[in-house]
Chains A and B, each alone.
Chain A
Amino acid sequence: MVSLTIDGNVVQAEERTPLIKIAEKLGIRIPTLCYHPALEPYGTCRLCTVEVVKKGRARLVTACNYPAEEGIVVHTKSERVIKARKLIIELLLSRCSKAKVIQELAEEYGVKEPRFGEGDEDCILCGLCVRVCSEIVGANAISFTSRGIDREVSTPFHIASEECIGCGACAYLCPTDAIKLEDIKGTRKIERWDTSRPLQRCSICGNYFAPVAQLEYIKNRLNLPEEIFQNCPNCRRKSYAEQVAALGHI
Chain B
Amino acid sequence: MNLVLVDDIIARYRWEKAAIIAILQDIQREFNYLPQEALTYAASRLAIPLTQVYSLATFYRAFSLKPRGKHLITVCLGTACHVRGAVRILEKLERELGIKAGETTDDMRVSLETVNCLGACALGPIVVIDGQYHGQMTSVKTDSILKKLRKL
Contact = CB atoms under 8 A, between A and B. Distances in A.
Contacts of A243: none
A140 B36 contact: no
Contacts of B51: 134, 140-143, 155-156, 161, 163
Contacts of B53: 156
A155 to B, nearest CB: 8
Contacts of A146: 58-59
Given A134-B49, A156-B50, A163-B50, A143 B36 contact: no
- The main secondary structure of chain A at its interface with chain B is loop
A143 B59 contact: no
Interface residues of B, number: 13
A239 interface: no
A227 to B, nearest CB: 32
A47 B52 CA distance: 27
B13 interface: no
Contacts of A147: 58-59
B52 A140 contact: yes
B54 interface: yes
Interface in B39-80: 39-40, 49-55, 58-59, 65
B109 to A, nearest CB: 26
A179 to B, nearest CB: 16
A145 B59 CA distance: 7
B59 A156 contact: no
Interface of B: 36, 39-40, 49-55, 58-59, 65
Contacts of A155: 51
26 contacts: A134-B49, A140-B49, A140-B50, A140-B52, A142-B51, A143-B51, A143-B54, A143-B55, A145-B54, A145-B55, A145-B59, A146-B58, A146-B59, A147-B58, A147-B59, A155-B51, A156-B39, A156-B50, A156-B51, A156-B54, A157-B36, A157-B65, A161-B51, A163-B49, A163-B50, A163-B51
A64 B9 CA distance: 41
Q: Which 5 A-B residue pairs are closest in the complex by CB-CB distance?
A: A143-B51, A140-B49, A156-B54, A145-B58, A146-B58
B82 to A, nearest CB: 16
A103 to B, nearest CB: 30
A162 B39 CA distance: 15
A144 interface: yes
Nearest to A140: B49
A46 B44 CA distance: 35
A137 to B, nearest CB: 12
A156 to B, nearest CB: 4
Nearest to B59: A147
Contacts of B49: 134, 140, 143, 163
A249 to B, nearest CB: 53
Contacts of B36: 157
A142 B49 CA distance: 10
A140 B49 CA distance: 6
